[in-house]
Structure formats: C-alpha cells, structure tokens
Amino acid sequence: MRLPFRFNLTLGLALVTLVILGAVFAPLLTPHDPILDADLMNSEMAPSWDHWFGTDSQGRDVFARVLYGARVSLTIGIVAQAINSTIGIALGLSAGYWGGWWDDTVNGLTNLMLAIPSLVFALAIMAVLGPGVVSLLIALGLTNWSWSCRITRSAVMSLKSQGYVQAARTLGYGDIRIMLTQLLPNIVGPVLVMATLGIGEAVLAEAALSFLGLGIRPPAPSWGNMLTDAREAIRSVPWATIFPGLAVFVTVLGFNLLGDGVRDWLDPRMQVRA
C-alpha cells in the first residue's frame, strides 16, 4: 500500500512544529513559572487539571518545565548545529575550492575530529568550561562539524569544474563571491539534511552530558537534566521522567523524520521506484 502523501516529511514537520510552537508560546500555554513556582508542599503530585504533567520532586510543574525546557533544548540543538554547519561549510567550501595545502590542513583536521568520538570530546570541553548553556553550545558546536565539512568539500570539488563556475571565474568574480553565490546554493540541500539530523543529535548529546553530570545549570529546565534528576523515581513518580523523555523522543524523531523526508524530497530517485 502506498501512502497518499510524503509520510515522513509530513509527520516530521508536524512534530517539529509542535515542539517549536510549544517552546515559543510557553508563557501562554502554562501559568506556571518553571523555576520559581516551586512549592515543596506540592512535590511529586500526579498529573491533574492544575498540573497536566504532574509536579517534580521540587514541586515544580512538569508541563511548564517541559515547555520551557524545549526552549533550552531547542536552542542548544539548533544553535550548536548552526555553529557546526557554519564551520563545516566554511572549511569544506574553502578547502574544496582552493585545494592545495589548505585542503590538506582541513582534511587532516576533519579526520582528527572524526577520530575522536564527539561525546568524548564534548565531555572534555564541558569538564573544562563547567556546566552551562554557553559551555554546551561550545562543546556541542565545535565537535560535530566534520560531516558537513566532508560533504561540502566533495560537492564543491565536483562542482567547481562545471561550466557556470568557470564562467563566473572568467567574468572576474572573486573567490569568496563565487563560493557564496555559485557554489553554496548547490550544496545547501545535503547540508540542510545533515543539519536537521545534527539537531537531534545535539539534543541527545545534551541529555547524555546531563546524565554524566555536565549539563546545564539548575534550576533552569532542560530535558536532559529533568530526565537525569528524576530517573531514580521512574517507578514512583513516572510522570517526571516520562514526559521529558517523550519530549526528547518526539523532538529528535521529528527532526530525523524531517531530515529523511527532505532528503527523499530533494532526491526524487528515492520516490520513484519499481
């Protein structure tokens, strides 16, 4: 049975939109403050009309924390990946275009970054910088650009010999201008797909680092530290772990499906098959 629409793309887009809307309109969606509305008398209350997702061990509203946590997690995911993509594209473009010793250098750097597992690298950076959003952005933004770089570089290598690039060069366009106006638009597709997947990875990495004790600073809510804090209470206070867990799941699933969907969409071959 064939589905009548692009299932992955649609579902992914829907999930991601849901999460983004939740993050943006958090103050409108819940009357509770995620940090200061802490009443220990109301701790660990089951979901109710007042507290849709219940309350956590500090008596804070889990729904509010999931919503505001979306801001933190999405910021970390998107900004960290934006840093990664920017570094990857800049290095990949210039290396592929100029070649020579610069290419060799970038290549060596890429291989180096690939060889050190990004979580290990991020862990080390977090240990140096200490917990916090900015540290996380640096730790996750500097450790995962090698793929975007590789893809960009190989795309540029095959593109730069093509007619229109040659034409631009004979027209006397500068190197930077050629890279930005002639090459960049042609590699945006695959890099976008990589970035979508990378956002999901960054959200997960934040959770993993929180588990290892190197996440963001409490009491600010992030899904990673909500999960980590409540993991021992999984049987008696399940709502404190299940909802942030679901939030991570939905978000990462959404970005993954979106990435897959965009890839299928950009590559029509994937759709038309015997």
Nearer to another protein, 28 or 115 (CB): 115
What is the b/e burial string over 48-63, where b = at least 16 CB atoms within 10 angstroms of the residue's CB?
A: eeebbbbbbebbbbbb
Task: For residues 232 and 238, give the distance between their C-alpha atoms in angstroms, rounded to a whole number.
Answer: 10
Residue 188 contacts residue 130 (beta carbons within 8 Å): no
Nearer to another protein, 27 or 213 (CB): 213
- Shortest Å distance, C-beta 203 to another protein: 9
Nearer to another protein, 98 or 211 (CB): 211
- Shortest Å distance, C-beta 197 to another protein: 8
Residue 6 contacts residue 261 (beta carbons within 8 Å): yes
- Shortest Å distance, C-beta 99 to another protein: 20
Nearer to another protein, 178 or 204 (CB): 204
Task: For residues 273 and 76, give the distance between their C-alpha atoms in angstroms, rounded to a whole number.
Answer: 38
Q: Exposed, middle or buried by CB within 10 Å (0-12, 13-18, 19+), for 118?
A: buried
Q: How many CA atoms lie within 13 A of 237 on its CB side?
A: 22
Nearer to another protein, 159 or 220 (CB): 220
- Shortest Å distance, C-beta 59 to another protein: 7
Task: For residues 151 and 173, give the distance between their C-alpha atoms in angstroms, rounded to a whole number.
Answer: 24
Which helix (H) or strand (E) is 196 found in, with range? helix 184-211
- Shortest Å distance, C-beta 130 to another protein: 6
Nearer to another protein, 58 or 84 (CB): 58
Residue 61 DSSP class: B
Task: For residues 253 and 259, give the distance between their C-alpha atoms in angstroms, rounded to a whole number.
Answer: 10
- Shortest Å distance, C-beta 22 to another protein: 17
